[in-house]
């Protein structure tokens, strides 16, 4: 039985990666289990300068999910490279994905380029779809022409494979995928969070300090499966699928939709062992559905 997959030239021992923003810089979870079981992980969203993020409160629970408005809190790219990644390397042997955010084309280009000489990083994930950052993030991810231009600018300077994280908050996800493909993207990841809101009945004000945030969790899974399938039909780029994955069966379904690999996000915030348990359950799930090699099911539902 073969669980390994090849993604952007990197052989992942299994298709499960921890999603950016839900797994810190990785080493935090090493206190719970040996994170070497992971196929890979996407580092916490990184910007040029350190960011505190949005004001508190910035988490709201929902039925079958949660809303977050963290706002890309991180120590800045220089400290991520000099401190966070070396610390991760002491507990994780594999290579990782660097998730890059920004407020301008220049900031995206600078931050992405700083990972060029970082051996621990095998790919750059360009986050053009964060709904929690004013003046950036989703502003780039909802306009096809702007997204294409941004990707083109970053692709000219980065040496590593470039994956673009797409927003579901668009009219046509396939058009966005085609735009970033035309800009030079080597892969896409999707979906990022939907936009949601909760209201405190006592105060009659939003639970989240900034009003709204990114909605994720099991409730978004059917939307994610549909969008991954549409993107895989629209472009020939490899896809890393995400959005509400919380079981081995979800992994198989997302791969049948067209994803070569997946990211597990919100589930990590509910259960710190989520990735480990999903990976451990994969062989039995494959056995139940007569799957010997995961590569054989990628895009099976076309």
Q: Are 257 and 228 in contact (CB under 8 A)?
A: yes
State how far the Cα of 288 lies from the Cα of 48, in Å rounded to an integer. Answer: 46
Q: Is residue 63 one of the residues assigned to a domain? A: no
State how far the Cα of 150 lies from the Cα of 113, in Å rounded to an integer. Answer: 14
Q: Are 109 and 101 in contact (CB under 8 A)?
A: no
Instruction: Give pLDDT tens digits for 35-73.
Output: 999 999 999 999 999 999 999 999 999 999 999 999 999
Q: Is residue 35 one of the residues assigned to a domain? A: yes
Q: Is residue 229 one of the residues assigned to a domain? A: yes
Q: Is residue 60 one of the residues assigned to a domain? A: no
Query: Could you tell me which residues come within 8 angstroms of residue 49 by beta carbon, excluding any fewer than 6 positions away?
Result: 76
Q: Which of 62, 130, 232, 301 is catalytic?
A: 130
Domain range spanning residue 110?
Answer: 5-55+72-197+216-297
Sign (positive/negative) of CA torsion 99, 130, 196, 52?
Answer: positive
**Entry pTM:** 0.95
Residue 118 among the catalytic residues: no
User: Of 283, 206, 294, 217, whose CA–CA distance to 253 is shortest?
Assistant: 294
Q: Are 124 and 95 in contact (CB under 8 A)?
A: no
Which residue's entry shows tokens 């080597």?
A: 186
Q: Is residue 186 one of the residues assigned to a domain? A: yes
Q: Is residue 243 one of the residues assigned to a domain? A: yes
Domain total in the chain? 1
CATH number at residue 269: 3.20.20.70
Say what the pLDDT of residue 138 is.
55
Say what the pLDDT of residue 137 is.
52
Say what the pLDDT of residue 142 is.
84
Q: Are 260 and 239 in contact (CB under 8 A)?
A: yes
Q: Which residues in the chain land under pLDDT 70?
A: 130-139
- Sequence-ordered strand ranges (E) for the chain: 5-7, 10-12, 16-18, 40-41, 59-62, 65-68, 96-100, 121-127, 162-165, 187-190, 194-196, 199-200, 205-206, 213-216, 239-242, 261-264
Q: Is residue 204 one of the residues assigned to a domain? A: no
Say what the pLDDT of residue 223 is.
98
Q: Is residue 190 one of the residues assigned to a domain? A: yes
């Amino acid at each position: 039985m073969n669980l390994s997959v090849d993604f952007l030239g990197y052989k992942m021992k299994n298709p499960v990666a921890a999603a950016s923003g839900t797994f810190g810089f990785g080493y935090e979870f090493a206190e719970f289990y040996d994170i070497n079981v992971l196929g890979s992980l996407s580092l916490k969203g990184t910007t040029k300068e350190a960011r505190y993020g949005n004001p508190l409160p910035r988490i709201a629970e929902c039925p079958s999910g949660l809303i977050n408005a963290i706002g890309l809190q991180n120590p800045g790219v220089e400290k991520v490279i000099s401190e966070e990644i070396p610390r991760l390397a002491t507990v994780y042997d594999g290579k990782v994905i660097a998730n890059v955010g920004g407020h301008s084309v220049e900031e995206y280009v600078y931050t992405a380029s700083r990972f060029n000489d970082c051996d621990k990083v095998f790919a750059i994930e360009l986050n053009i779809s964060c709904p929690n950052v004013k003046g950036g993030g989703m502003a780039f991810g909802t306009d096809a022409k702007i997204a294409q231009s941004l990707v083109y600018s970053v692709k000219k300077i980065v040496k590593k494979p470039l994956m673009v994280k797409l927003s579901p908050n668009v009219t046509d996800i396939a058009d966005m995928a085609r735009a970033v493909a035309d800009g030079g993207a080597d892969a896409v990841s999707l979906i990022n969070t939907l936009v949601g809101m909760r209201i405190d009945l006592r105060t009659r004000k939003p639970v989240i300090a900034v009003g709204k945030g990114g909605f994720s969790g099991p409730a978004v899974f059917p939307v994610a499966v549909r969008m991954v399938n549409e993107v895989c039909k629209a472009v020939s780029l490899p896809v890393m699928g995400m959005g509400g994955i919380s079981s081995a069966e979800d992994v198989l379904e997302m791969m049948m939709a067209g994803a070569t690999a997946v990211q597990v996000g919100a589930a990590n915030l509910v259960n710190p062992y989520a990735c480990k348990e999903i990976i451990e359950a994969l062989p039995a799930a494959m056995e139940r559905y007569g799957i010997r090699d995961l590569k054989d099911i990628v895009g099976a539902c076309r």
